Each structure stands twice: as structure tokens, then as C-alpha cells.
Amino acid sequence: MAKSKKKKHLLRKAVIGTFASIALVGAFIGYKYYQFIKAPNVHNVESTDPYFYIPTGSNFEDVLYLLKTKNLLLKENSFLWVAEKKNYIKNVKPGRYKLEPRMNNNELVNLLRSGAQTPVHVTFNNVKTIPDLAGKVSKYLEPDSTTMLRMLQNDSVVKHYGFSNETFISMFIPNTYEFYWDTSPEGFISRMASEFKSYWTPDRVAKAKALGLTQSEVSTLASIVQEETRKRDEMPKVAGLYLNRIKKGIKLQADPTVKFAVGDPNMKRIYLKHLKVDSPYNTYIVLGLPPGPIAMPEKQALDAVLNAEKHNYIFMCAKPDFSGYHNFATTLSAHNKNRQVYISFLKKQGIK
């Protein structure tokens, strides 16, 4: 009987020991599981730039190299293990991803595998030419300026959207837009075409038609208005002036078109020799609007043309106060007086 009790006691101890061992092994496995999956593994994420960029065409080895180069992982082997388990190795997606400090491997792999990018805000304004646009946009998106420009100047692309090389710039309306970082040049252009269509509501199309202008002609005139005055409250008056000239068959004689024809939009003074430059953009020579915009007009300038002020002015001259505003006149004699006052003012300022 005593032997039987002792045997049972030893058996009980053995069972308890076995369970204890299993528990220890389980605890160890659980700890390793936590270390590999749930423990923080992302560090060195700067608050000023918490974004991780994966270029188009990258594979898992490229991603691993970028993570190592930027010193973002505490333990590379644990990330690799989770990436393999979650099949991220075969599901790499390009883009711009926002990393959070102390992210664990599970969170990091889920983010990168999902392709859930953080959009970029692309802003462009004060654009003079298509190359200028390519340069501004490429600062925000993956394609470089050369790649972007090549597509923007592609004759087939321009024709596809119903524009000429001279008018294509009018399809791009300055603003701030959300894009994914890896947006292609084709994707960028397509999006801008959609924004162009959104701007040109039936009401705006009707207003353009009432003025006897096409949408591209509205953009062309708006670009001249915008270059003549940066004062938004004055834009409708300037637009009305040029519309009066068009109706009367008078040359626009817009100084900004001369600067464009000469190829120097930053010219301070225009002289007689400049007015004689042979160019379809020189409105001192050609009658009517030039072939296309001389800059990319913003919405305020476009709306100023579509809602132009009705008046009889056909002349304008800068006010002699550097305010940026203009004096307007209905007759040449009144205009010449304004002009002489302005010239005298410049001379007093030592400007020749």
C-alpha cells in the first residue's frame, strides 16, 4: 500500500513537471511571438519626415535595402519573418507610406502590403510654361521633370485631349490637388483633364459662348488679364477693356504679350523695338487674341473674363504710385495724359 502511494506521488510530480515544462516552452514561444510580431520594431522616424517611399518596380529586396539604409528597423530578422508569414514578399506595392514611431512588425507589414498610401498635396501656381509646370509637379510626385515634360509635350497626348500645343496649358488650372506619390505622368494629365471638365460647368460654358469665345480663348484672355494686373478686384475691369477692344476690332496692344514674344516675361520696361517683334503673340502687330495663353491663368482670372465688367474703357495705364492698379480711359487723348503722368513719375523715381 505504501509503495502504491509513493508511486502515485512520483507520477503526480512527473505530470506536474511535464506541464510546467510545457508551460515554460509555451511562455517562451509566446514571448518570441510577441517579440517578432507585437513588439515595437520601427525607430528613427523623424517627426519632420515620417514617410517611407517605395519606388515603382521595387521588389522585397529593394524594400529591405531601403529600410536598412534609413536605419528604420530595430531587428531585421523579425521583420523578415513576419513579412514571409504574411506573404508581403510577393505583394510589394510602391508608394509613400507614413510610419509611426514604435510600430510593430505586424503593423508595418500590414501597412506596406495594403498599399494604403498617404496622399501628397500638389500645389502649382505662377506657372508660365509647360516646362515650368513639369518642374513644379515633379517636386511632389515620383516621376522626374524630364519624364513629366516628355509626356506633357507629347503631340499624341495633346491631341487626345482636344488641344493644340499652344493651348494645352489651358487644361491645367492652378490649385492644390491630392495625388498619390507614385502617380504616373499619364495619371497626372488624366486627373487634370477631369479637373478642367469640373471647372467648365454648363453655366461657365454658356458665359463663354455669350462672349463669343471658346474655352481656350477664355484661358488665353485670362492669362493676359492676369499678367496685366495681380489685383483680383481689378481683373474684371481689365477683362472688360480687352473684350471692348476685340468687339471694336482694335488690337489688344497688351504689354505682357510682347514680353512673351520677346521671351523675357520679367522685362521691366518695353521699348519701341520690342513692339515690332514679329510674333503671333505680339498683340501690337496681330489683331485679336494670340494662339494660346501666355501663362497658366488661375481661376480668379478665368472667372474675371467670364464675369467681365461692362464699361466703355479701351485704354489703361499703370497708376503713378506703385500700387499695382491702373487708370482707365475711353479716349486716346485721356490715355496719353495718364501715360505722361506715369512717365514723369518714373523719371522722378530715377527709372528710365
Return d(Cα 173, Cα 89) in angstroms, integer.
40
**Spatial CA neighbour of 309 closest among 257, 233, 213:** 233
Q: Where are the alpha helices (DSSP H) in the chain?
A: 2-33, 60-69, 76-85, 105-114, 130-137, 145-152, 155-160, 185-199, 202-211, 215-228, 235-248, 255-262, 272-275, 299-306, 332-348
Alpha carbons 284 and 89: distance in angstroms, whole number? 64
Question: Over 80: is that where the pLDDT of 33 sits?
Answer: no
Secondary structure letter of residue 4 according to DSSP: H
Structural domain boundaries in the chain: 51-114, 125-199, 213-311
Q: pLDDT tens digits, residue range 240-285?
A: 999 999 999 999 999 999 999 999 888 877 888 999 999 999 999 9
Q: pLDDT tens, 280-295?
A: 999 999 999 999 999 9
Query: What pTM was estimated for this model as a whole?
Result: 0.86
How does the average pLDDT of the chain come out, rounded?
Answer: 90
Who has greater pLDDT, 290 or 350?
290
| Beta strand 120-124 pairing with 95-98 | unpaired
Q: Note whether 217 and 242 are within 8 A (CB).
A: no
Say which residues have a Cβ less than 8 Å from residue 305's Cβ, sequence separation at least 6: 211, 213, 218, 221, 222, 225, 239, 243
C-alpha cell at 32: 518570441
Residues 162-205 have pLDDT tens digits of 999 999 999 999 999 999 999 999 999 999 999 999 999 999 99
Confidence grade of residue 40 (pLDDT, cut at 50, 70, 90): confident
Of residues 173 and 1, more confidence is placed in 173
What is the number of H-type helices and E-type strands within the chain?
15, 6
Percent of the chain, pLDDT > 70? 89
Give the Cα separation of 283 and 254 in Å (integer): 6
Domain 51-114 in CATH 3.40.47.10? The answer is no
